[in-house]
Structure 1
């Protein structure tokens, strides 16, 4: 079920460690920031991972989550793997290694990898205007809210200073937002955007009719950028988003259960159900529609994510297959929105304190302002989804871990606690 250790894995990790050592040697001030996590290559105590079991079993027993599965993999081998609780509390069926979870926004990372594969193939350029692939995006405007003479809020539609490009979609800096958090007239313009049955082409046309929340590359604004990236992939490849990903990424990786919809009754029976109080998400993966949401529509299993996580840990390769060139992988895992980038952050900057953002992933850049710093390592790569699927890739420690759950209300406490236990297990 889990990929074996590879020579490429070790060589890429050694190069990453050498890069860190070079930074520390040439910039002592930065060294103080970098050395907030475990020392590169520190021993990991499997015994000290055992509190994960007591903690998650306690969350299940208290009725805060239905169940979960946790994998910690280091040096190409699983060092901790365990299933907890129920995948369906009402039916009493347990979480098993083949349980299928909705991954929601972790889908964004897969879509971003697929897009960068097309960059490697020369079919997409990061500087391409989105209107090259979706003509209606040539007419986008920014909605600037103001008060009229009576004090009523209104929108002025302002021309773009420059077109939205593919890189903006990857960075969540396109000005395309979500309508389900925050307030204001632009947010309100998203009301009803999910109604009816539509495909990626149709959804892109819906987004093209909504004003942008701000000028491109001025604010990290979490939204439907990656859904639009999915449509760009379709136009550039001549395939549906899923068919391109299945042919070029998922099948070659062995991710056979990662898909947008479950139509096989046997697979549907393995789907993880949330607790009753959490059955309020906009999109149910058991509903088969035409929309292949590149921003949040996929489902997967822990065995598939063992393959995916190892590929990322290896720097874009697995089992002798190259999915991303070294330069492309480096670009994906570099912060592009940090100081000097001109990209502002607000309350909804979801990468969090101490993190920048690359192409589809949060990137740990510094300890942050919390004392002591939250657990992790310089350069760690991460993302998570609305129901609690959480992927962290730590190349400095030869490790990645995955938490899978379907727990919108309980996910944050689970993920932060599991991460702390894992990093506390490194020998000091």
Structure 2
């Protein structure tokens, strides 16, 4: 990171755009970290090991967990998920994507593990108002920030999800981000373990990610989350202080900058004993067709596709967390860039995005 970029980030803290931020840039054996500001606008100073709600950084972690099972032949990419998720055994699809929910046709093929990983199962963040309203009525909480949590247990969540029609045929369209929610339930059922337990055994502990989980490891280090300058989830009364009934595999994890850096370094190293190099290559390769990329351009941006839990384009892969985090890896020169803030990313000023792009 250049000195000008560091000064710009400091200005965002000094001017109150964000209460604090942590930036990390690494290349090879060199890692530079800047810790600026406070854990909340009226709180203690931010620490390098402060805990952030990393939101959609959860997606690549859960995708990696699924690829552990693929490596071990406990999951097959093109097997129907209905073998483990019978709630999705007989999906029906809207006759028209913007049509009424009772006008459906049978799915042309089963939903597969690959469909979940690539967000092409046929459900996701929808522009069909009736479908979004039905999801809200069912308390599935698949859209927007994970606040408040769904009150449902995983089996009941899946039962209710299975009553919905798909908006598109399996494999037809990229839709953020219901595939990750479903993938978390699939992993738990295949392994016979709670999702967090499997993540801890196969991802967090091998990588030394001691502070990552669905509950704040140390409440004293938890930051406050904001939408703009308005508190969304305060550290003292956070929903992340208690275990969730439904571990949100799309956006529910708490982590630190060093924990998440350990995960990104694992991917850059080709798996580092956690995943096979082939699994990492699949995760970080664009899986979308040109038509699917074009349909998703408003969400992903120009010339950007999707791997498994990560966007891919411009010689980089990575993703953003809606509650204020940003990550990219450039494999060609081995540069990893991570920015963690407490301000919801959709309320960031363009200047903050521009500062991040100068790394």
The two structures share one fold, judged by TM-score above 0.5: yes
- Choose the corresponding residue for 2:308, options 343, 349, 359: 359
- The residue number in structure 1 matching 2:131 is 186
Give 1:68-107 correspondences, 5 Å limit.
68-78=21-31, 80-91=32-43, 93-107=44-58
Displacement of 1:327:
1.4
- Choose the corresponding residue for 1:171, options 114, 118, 143: 118
- The residue number in structure 1 matching 2:197 is 243
Displacement of 1:420:
2.4
Query: Structure 1's 344 and 398: CA in aligned 2 closer, same or farther, altered over 3 A?
Result: closer
1:316 matched to 2:316: no
Query: Structure 1's 173 and 198: CA in aligned 2 closer, same or farther, altered over 3 A?
Result: same
Structure 2 alignment gaps of length 5 or more = 142-148
- The residue number in structure 1 matching 2:91 is 140
- The residue number in structure 1 matching 2:103 is 156
Deviation per CA, 1:86-133: give whole Å up to 9, x if none. Answer: 112123x11110100001111000000000010000000110111111
- The residue number in structure 2 matching 1:67 is 20
Displacement of 1:57:
2.1
- The residue number in structure 2 matching 1:396 is 332
1:110 matched to 2:55: no
RMSD: 2.3
Q: Give secondary structure in 2 for the equivalent of 1:82.
A: strand
CA distance in 1, matches of 2:352, 2:153: 33
- Choose the corresponding residue for 1:271, options 209, 222, 227: 222
Contact residue 118 and residue 309 of structure 2 kept, 8 A: yes
Deviation per CA, 1:120-158: give whole Å up to 9, x if none. Answer: 00000110111111111012211245999xxxx664122
Contact residue 145 and residue 155 of structure 1 kept, 8 A: no
- Choose the corresponding residue for 1:338, options 277, 282, 289: 289
Query: Structure 1's 167 and 415: CA in aligned 2 closer, same or farther, altered over 3 A?
Result: farther
- The residue number in structure 1 matching 2:355 is 418
- Choose the corresponding residue for 1:301, options 252, 256, 259: 256
Q: Give secondary structure in 2 for the equivalent of 1:384.
A: strand
CA distance in 2, matches of 1:175, 1:133: 18
Displacement of 1:412:
6.3
Displacement of 1:345:
4.0
Query: Structure 1's 388 and 147: CA in aligned 2 closer, same or farther, altered over 3 A?
Result: closer
CA distance in 1, matches of 2:198, 2:275: 15
CA distance in 1, matches of 2:333, 2:185: 36
Q: Give secondary structure in 2 for the equivalent of 1:354.
A: coil
Contact residue 85 and residue 95 of structure 1 kept, 8 A: yes
Query: Structure 1's 410 and 191: CA in aligned 2 closer, same or farther, altered over 3 A?
Result: closer
CA distance in 2, matches of 1:71, 1:147: 43
Q: Give secondary structure in 2 for the equivalent of 1:88.
A: coil
Structure having the higher Rg: 1
CA distance in 1, matches of 2:204, 2:66: 13
- The residue number in structure 2 matching 1:201 is 155
CA distance in 2, matches of 1:349, 1:167: 23
- Choose the corresponding residue for 2:320, options 351, 373, 384: 384
Contact residue 146 and residue 155 of structure 1 kept, 8 A: no
Query: Structure 1's 241 and 133: CA in aligned 2 closer, same or farther, altered over 3 A?
Result: same
Query: Structure 1's 115 and 146: CA in aligned 2 closer, same or farther, altered over 3 A?
Result: closer
Size of the alignment, in residue pairs?
Answer: 344
CA distance in 1, matches of 2:210, 2:98: 53
- The residue number in structure 2 matching 1:285 is 240
Contact residue 326 and residue 340 of structure 2 kept, 8 A: yes
